[in-house]
Amino acid sequence: MAASGVLEVFRRSDIAAWGLDPGSVRAYVRQGLWVRLHHGVYADAGVVRECAGDPVRLHRLLTRAAIASLPVAAYAVGPTAAVVHELPLPDGPPATIHLVRDASADRRALSRRISSPTALVHVHVSGHALHEADVTEVDGLASVSREVAAVTTAAGLSAEWAVAVLDAVAWRRPEVPEVLENVTEDWPRLRGIGTVRRALPLVRTGAQSPLESLSRIRLVAGGLPEPALQVAFHDAAGLVGVADMVWEEWKVIGECDGLLKYSSREDLVREKKREDRLRALGYVVVRWTWDEIMRDPRAVVARIRRAFAVARGLGRAR
């Protein structure tokens, strides 16, 4: 019997509601139809097999199981909440399920041992005074809000990746940096909160990907002026495109080339035409890859500085 949606995992109480004899659970597990994930919490064996090849889906499944196992309400937090909200993580889903429960919950219930002999990952449950605005539900999965997810995740990352995660929440939402500051103040004892506080002044609303965030941080650290982000360009034919970064004073455009940005020859031809139109507007275009900015950012900085000089020469020539 397959379960789906919020019942990707189910408890003995769900089984009784389906009209099945709870005593048949052992037989279903023995026959390989169900998998026991935690004490009293099960999943359809087919669902588990499907998730096994997808780390993100598996982490969400195990998060549902862990929440279902707890005697009190709990919510995904930190990197687990980042998985739920599809925020970027440097190393993919964590090996541990991170949950938070309201600190005012019944401590007697929380002290009840969770038996999980067949759990696939460890579960860490912390406590915090949660407000209504702090929690939400994503596809039936209880989680802290997207902003709280970003702050509690960033606290455990490097300084650069903390900015990248916070940038991801602020994308196209100019009100978010202030919200992030408020969340940070509400989690003063969170381990790593100092990293978040140092990252907040570097958060921008125009970084579309971790590559753009990490590039901006490394280029500025290398001595370049901070660029404008996601700038639209037009010519007589209409919209040329939106550039990742622009140093308008020097007429230089910076483009971060991700691995999936150009998936076909047509994409490359289209991008070549776009770049020709940008050059016709008087700009010099500089490109770099993930490997270049992470391995040798000084070389990218030098390339952009040379472009500043080229652009100045083109300006004088015109």
Domains of the chain: 210-317 (3.40.960.10)
Q: What is the largest CA-CA distance in the chain?
A: 86
Buried b (16+ CB within 10 A) or exposed e, 176-204: bbebbbebbebbeebebbebbeebbebbb
Predicted confidence at residue 318, as pLDDT, reads 53
Stated as kind and residue range, the H or E segment containing 228 is strand 228-235
Closest to 100 (Cα-Cα) out of 121, 119, 120, 123:
123
User: Are 100 and 121 spatial neighbours (Cβ–Cβ below 8 Å)?
Assistant: no
What are phi and psi for residue 9, nearest 5 degrees? -120, 150
Predicted confidence at residue 261, as pLDDT, reads 54
Predicted confidence at residue 113, as pLDDT, reads 52
Predicted confidence at residue 108, as pLDDT, reads 52
Q: Which residues of the chain have pLDDT under 70?
A: 1-7, 105-121, 258-264, 314-318
Rounded to two decimals, the pTM is 0.87
What are phi and psi for residue 91, nearest 5 degrees? -125, 20
Give residue-wise pLDDT tens across range 63-73.
Answer: 999 999 888 89
Predicted confidence at residue 6, as pLDDT, reads 45
Closest to 209 (Cα-Cα) out of 246, 147, 165, 150:
165
